[in-house]
Structure 1
Amino acid sequence: MPAHDLFSQTVATEDWRQEATHWIDEQLAAAGRRRTGDVVQRRIRPWSTQLVAPSDHGTVWFKANCRSSAYEPAVHLALSELEPGEVEAPLAIDADRGWMVTADRGTTLGDSHDATLVEWQEVVELAARVQRQVADHGTALLAAGLPDCSPATVPARYAWLVDQLADLPADHPSHLPSDEAASLRERSGVVDEAVRTLLAAPLPASLQHGDLHPGNVFVVDGMMRFFDFGDAQWAHVLEVLAVPYGYSTRVTHHPWPALLDAYATVWEDLLDRAALEALMVPAMVTHAVNRSFTWLGAIEGAQPEELAEWGDSALYYLRLTHEPFPPEDPENGP
């Protein structure tokens, strides 16, 4: 089995932790810092692991990504150069290995308290502003490794995913039965139509954070800053609203129209709020395809116990391609 297929096993070994610790020490020294205590591994997932280390200039976080999201450090650095007010630069990256060290910024907005409606509105509005600001910098972000999941690329990705999930072992949680695979192929026109609608509208492709919520936001000197770009893509801008929509309807129960209002204000010179809301329908089709793609990479080397928890995610999102939006059952939405 290729080494990248053993990510969560590899990063649990003492040899790997020693290698990562040595790299952390080297990067701290280069930044004029010194580690002052033991390195602690906070968690291991099939897609990433985090180590925490105390230093004489405060706590630092180390993150290592699996193969499919190894682009994150280089993309994070590129975004910090494009948007220094919204994305803080990492202390160090190793783009080849998908490693990164960042300064601790305390408790996230979402972990400090249940974010208010106003704070949620600020998060989605800030995301929209960043999208507008980096929309002309796709070349730089794609060169950093950000996956190109723009609308024109989605039909081919949909067909590829159907084939990939159909080829998974029958006992894999995301295995696509042959009859369902045939049905999804026959219904590919839904994806094609969604793409045509998005391409005919004035909203662009840009940064799609992939996991936009207050838990991925720090407040630094009164200003919000995003982090955690391991699920990020270059995609239609409205796809970024899938996660806020899910939180609004299933977790926080803040009114979704109020969140959409805040996001829409940033684009009101291009189209009105009603037209933007209508575009959510095709955007959630392309989002479902692109999210399935993210999950398939994330579980590539998952172990049996990890597959039991997350293994059906790629299939779940591919099926959402053909679910109505807004969903008839809000508990089963994007």
Structure 2
Amino acid sequence: MNWSSEEWLAQAVSWLDEELMAAGIERVGEVTQPRLKPWGTVLRADTDSGTVWLKAPGPETVFEVPLYRLLASVAPKWVLDPIAVDVERGWVLLPDGGPTLRERLGGTAGLSDAMISVLPQYGQLQVELEPHAEDLLATGVTDMRPAAMPQRLDEALETTGRYTASSDSEVAKEQHAWVVGQRAEFAARCADLPDRVSLDHNDLHTNNILGGPTGQVRFYDWGDSVLAHPFTSMLVGLGSLARWLEVDPDDPQVRRPRDAYLEVFGDPAELLAELELACWIGKVARALVWDRALHQEPGEFAGAPLRTLASLRMNSWLAPD
């Protein structure tokens, strides 16, 4: 997709203006293209109602366009409400959501307390989405439910096998061989995971949270999301928190947000083992999401899917960056 071509840009700007007019909004500045990546692009425009953004994901993540429409219909409190959606062309026009949580905090001070407020809101969003599994699949979200995960591991191993075959790294070869040897154990542990199902954002960090640190927030950038056990979201949600704070996952600064999230679903003490197993299994989904993101341009992150799979060895919910 040549998102930088004059033809594509002219069509996108024309659609943007048509949809703004239909919504009673007037553009008051030039349209710019602040982000252009191999996996998608974003256009920005100022209007008399504030900044708007046209997002055009690539074919690997174009499901995000109909997903936004579904989320705005089912759980509007927690997401941006699109101004317009064109599923056929894979375009979504969004209002500006304001500063991210990372921008508001400006550092790690207060981050743990902020996540105590944020993660239960995310849990509530997941609860609202639980009855809509089939609708989520219909948008094109990948099925990463526990029963599907043994097959997903095989798919991930195909990817890491190609990487290993092209690599001179003995470490990579050993890591890949170790994961291959865990297929039966992995399938058995998938069967042990309770069959809760909801949307896993799969990249739940402070730059994808709009608002905060207290009060209502909204969740943004759903291009990595999958249908999975809801607790798998904490693989990134809690893992990134521990890394940002440079603390152990058992540190109170991580435990308190974790328990606040689990309280949405029940007694945290009774759910902790389920969360840890869900996150351990979710590493395979994360590896496949890495592969999806890197499909067009692996670059320096080419080894990320294998590193994520190899972190199954840790028997922990933590995964490497």
User: Which TM bucket (shorter chain)?
Assistant: 0.7 to 0.9
Corresponding residue number in structure 2 for 1:256: 254
Structure 1 portions without partners, runs of 5+: 1-6
Per-residue deviation, residues 266-316 of structure 1 (Å, max 9, x unmatched):
111xxx3233221233212321110111111111111xxxx3333222222
> C-alpha displacement at 1:322, in angstroms?
2.9
> 1:83 deviation in Å?
0.8
Equivalent of 2:66, from 74, 79, 96? Answer: 74
What residue is the counterpart of 2:309 in the other structure? Answer: 318
**Distance verdict in 2 for CA 1:141–1:326, change over 3 Å:** closer
Larger CA deviation: 63-72 vs 36-45: 36-45
> In the TM superposition, what is the alpha-carbon distance from 1:217 to its structure 2 partner?
2.2
State whether residues 168 and 176 of structure 1, in contact with CA within 8 Å, keep that contact through their aligned partners in structure 2.
no
Aligned: 1:104 with 2:96: yes
Q: Given the alignment, which residue of 254, 259, 282 partners 2:277?
A: 282
Separation (CA, whole Å) in 2 of partners of 1:314 and 1:71: 21
- Opposite residue 301 of structure 1, the aligned amino acid is Q
CA apart distance, 1:158: 0.5
**d(CA) in 2 for partners of 1:84, 1:209:** 16
Shift in Å, 1:177? 6.0
Deviation of the 1:255 alpha carbon: 1.2
Map 1:1-334 to 2 at 5 A.
Answer: 7=1, 10-113=2-105, 114=107, 116-168=111-163, 170-171=165-166, 180-198=175-193, 201=194, 204-219=196-211, 222-253=215-246, 255-268=253-266, 272-302=267-297, 307-325=298-316, 333=320
Verify the 8 A CA contact 2:307 2:320 in the aligned structure 1. no
Displacement, 1:168? 4.7
Q: Is the 8 A contact 1:165 1:175 kept in 2?
A: no
1:251 shift after superposition: 0.4
- After superposition, the Cα gap between the structure-2 partners of 1:77 and 1:322, relative to the gap in structure 1 and judged at 3 Å, is same
Are residues 33 and 190 of structure 1, via their aligned partners in 2, closer, same or farther at CA, if it must alter by over 3 Å?
same
1:301-334 per-residue CA deviation (whole Å, 9 max, x = no partner) reads 11xxxx333322222222223332155xxxx647
CA–CA separation in structure 2 for the residues paired with 1:190 and 1:292 = 18
Distance of 1:11 and 1:171 partners within structure 2: 31
Q: CA deviation at 1:13?
A: 3.2
CA distance in 2, matches of 1:174, 1:68: 28
Q: CA deviation digits over 1:14-43, x for unaligned, max 9?
A: 333223222212221222222221111112
Q: Aligned partners of 2:168, 2:307: CA distance in 1, in Å?
A: 10
Q: Distance in 1 between matches of 2:38 and 2:170?
A: 18
Judged with a 3 Å threshold, the aligned counterparts in structure 2 of structure 1 residues 176 and 297 are, in CA distance, closer, same or farther, namely: farther
- In structure 1, the residue matched to 2:249 is none
Q: TM-score, normalised by structure 1?
A: 0.84
Partner deviation per Cα, 1:158-215 (whole Å, 9 max, x = no partner): 11221233235855799996665444222112311220121xx3x6111111121332
Q: Identity of aligned pairs, percent?
A: 29
Instruction: Give the match's secondary structure for 2:299.
Output: helix
2:33 match: secondary structure: strand
User: Whole-Å Cα distance in 2 between the matches of residues 210 and 293 of structure 1?
Assistant: 11
Query: What residue in structure 2 maps to residue 4 of structure 1?
Result: none
CA contact (8 A) 1:74 1:95 kept: yes
In structure 1, distance between residues paired with 2:167 and 2:33: 29
Tell me the amino acid that sits aligned with residue 262 of structure 2: A
Q: Is the 8 A contact 1:292 1:313 kept in 2?
A: yes
Q: Kindly tell me the number of residue pairs found equivalent between the two proteins.
A: 312
Report SS of the residue matched to 1:309.
Answer: helix
The answer to whether the 8 Å contact 2:233/2:279 transfers is no
Name the SS for the 2:143 alignment partner: coil
Alpha-carbon distance between aligned partners in 2 of 1:207 and 1:109, rounded to the nearest angstrom: 21
1:91–1:102 CA contact under 8 A, matched in 2: yes
Q: Aligned AA for 2:157?
A: V
Distance 2:295 2:278 in 1: 26
